């Protein structure tokens, strides 16, 4: 698999969400609340997660265990979309506690966990990262 424009868009959106997520969470924690920062970074995080989920639906890998090119990591697409929907639904209904838990779970599950699986040595980005590091040793 090569670094196609589609993979570049997906990777950029996922990395952007990985960076913006903690800032959105931080802006609503502690004694000092920063609602404008939280809202701006939260919308940015949600938009990037949506872009990552949609773009990943078009990325297929026939080298791993798959069904028509879709691997087990593609199960995160509906999980991510459902998480975004539930997070914004909770916000609309005024259930801030559920919104907070849903979005934090979405960050941990879709960004951190998926990122860890993406960096497995058998996957394309894992080969790029680990191949570069192993080449330096």
Going from N- to C-terminal start, the domains of the chain cover 5-132
**pTM of the complete model:** 0.85
Angle at 94 between CA 43 and CA 110, to 5 degrees: 40
Residue 79 has pLDDT above 70, yes or no: yes
Plot region of 120 (φ>0 → left; ψ -120 to 50 → alpha; else → beta): beta
User: What CA–CA distance (Å, rounded) separates 134 from 43?
Assistant: 37
- Give the pLDDT confidence of 84-105 residue by residue, as tens digits: 999 999 999 999 999 999 999 9
Long-range residue pairs from 39-46, CB within 8 A, at least 24 positions apart, any chain: 42/103, 44/16, 44/20, 45/17, 45/20, 45/21, 45/103, 45/107, 46/84, 46/87, 46/88
């Amino acid at each position: 698999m090569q670094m196609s424009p589609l993979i570049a868009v997906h990777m950029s959106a996922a990395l952007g969400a990985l960076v913006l997520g903690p800032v959105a969470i931080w802006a609503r924690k502690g004694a000092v609340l920063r609602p404008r920062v939280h809202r701006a970074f939260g919308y940015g995080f949600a938009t990037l997660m949506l872009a990552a989920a949609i773009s990943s639906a078009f990325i297929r890998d026939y080298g791993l265990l798959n069904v028509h090119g879709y691997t087990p990591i593609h199960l995160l697409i509906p999980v991510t979309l459902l998480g975004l929907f539930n997070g914004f639904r909770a916000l609309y209904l005024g259930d801030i506690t559920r919104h907070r838990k849903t979005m934090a779970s979405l960050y941990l599950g879709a960004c951190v966990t998926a990122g860890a699986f993406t960096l497995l040595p058998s996957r394309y980005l894992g080969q790029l990262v680990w191949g570069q590091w192993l080449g330096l040793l």
